[in-house]
């Protein structure tokens, strides 16, 4: 049974959630993810994928605004990071993975210097809610710009290499951004539910 937040997100981001459902870090899970991504990204799909990433961004913003300020320094669900570090990390992934895929789509990365992703880099531990909202807004602008540049090149192989995911096509990276976000959304929802604060407005 899907948690309520995931079922709600699925209405606005069906391809993102479908890929998230099959994803796990095992060999078979990664193969399933790549198959699902390949099936859901066709030439010309960038605007449709962008609309789904906007829905994911809306959910990230909603959770951040619902988060009591004291929880920003609580354990964030990944390694020893707190919530602020994990949230800043996911906004960085949204910004840079999409931008790098867009540069590759436009032929702006020298093939011998294609970017290699360094996963699990946390953000600042003392970032405020206002700073995190700024980072989220920057990520949303970056994804919009990336989608515009990737449109028409969705099925072009991208040279960017991720140590876990490997290589994807440019449009598949655009879709993958929301899958990564879902992992952090799940962590934040669990934290809010455990705290009993999911229905309360954020404090100062």
What is the Cα–Cα distance from 58 to 13, expressed in whole angstroms? 11
How do residues 136-176 score in pLDDT, each as one tens digit? Answer: 999 999 999 999 999 999 999 998 888 888 889 999 999 99
CB 47 within 8 A of CB 84: no
Q: Are 85 and 123 in contact (CB under 8 A)?
A: yes
CA atoms 18, 158, 142, 125: torsion sign:
positive
Cβ count near 32 (within 10 Å): 16
Q: How confident is the model at residue 201, as a pLDDT? A: 44
pLDDT at position 46 is: 97
What pLDDT is recorded for position 198?
A: 54
Burial of 197 (0-12, 13-18, 19+ CB in 10 A): middle
Q: By the 8 A CB rule, do 162 and 31 touch?
A: no
d(CA 72, CA 87): 9
Task: Please list the ranges in the chain whose pLDDT falls under 50.
Answer: 199-204
Q: How far apart are CA 126 and CA 111, in angstroms?
A: 38
129 contacts 202 by C-beta, under 8 angstroms:
yes
pTM score, whole prediction: 0.89
Q: Which residues make beta-bridge pairs with 82?
A: 75
């Amino acid at each position: 049974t899907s948690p309520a937040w995931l079922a709600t997100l699925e209405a606005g981001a069906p391809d993102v959630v479908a890929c998230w459902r099959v994803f796990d870090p095992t060999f078979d899970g990664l193969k399933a993810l790549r198959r699902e991504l390949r099936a859901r990204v066709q030439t010309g799909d960038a605007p449709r994928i962008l609309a789904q990433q906007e829905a994911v961004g809306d959910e990230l913003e909603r959770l951040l605004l619902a988060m009591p300020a004291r929880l920003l320094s609580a354990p964030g669900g990944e390694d020893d990071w707190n919530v602020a570090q994990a949230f800043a990390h996911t906004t960085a992934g949204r910004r840079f993975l999409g931008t790098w895929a867009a540069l590759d789509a436009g032929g702006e990365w020298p093939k011998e210097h294609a970017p290699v992703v360094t996963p699990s880099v946390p953000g600042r531990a003392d970032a405020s809610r206002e700073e995190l909202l700024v980072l989220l807004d920057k990520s949303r602008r970056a994804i919009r710009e990336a989608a515009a540049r990737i449109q028409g090149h969705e099925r072009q192989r991208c040279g960017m290499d991720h140590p876990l995911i490997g290589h994807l096509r440019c449009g598949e990276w655009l879709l993958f951004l929301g899958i990564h976000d879902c992992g952090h959304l799940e962590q934040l929802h669990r934290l809010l539910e455990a705290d009993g604060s999911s229905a309360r407005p954020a404090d100062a």
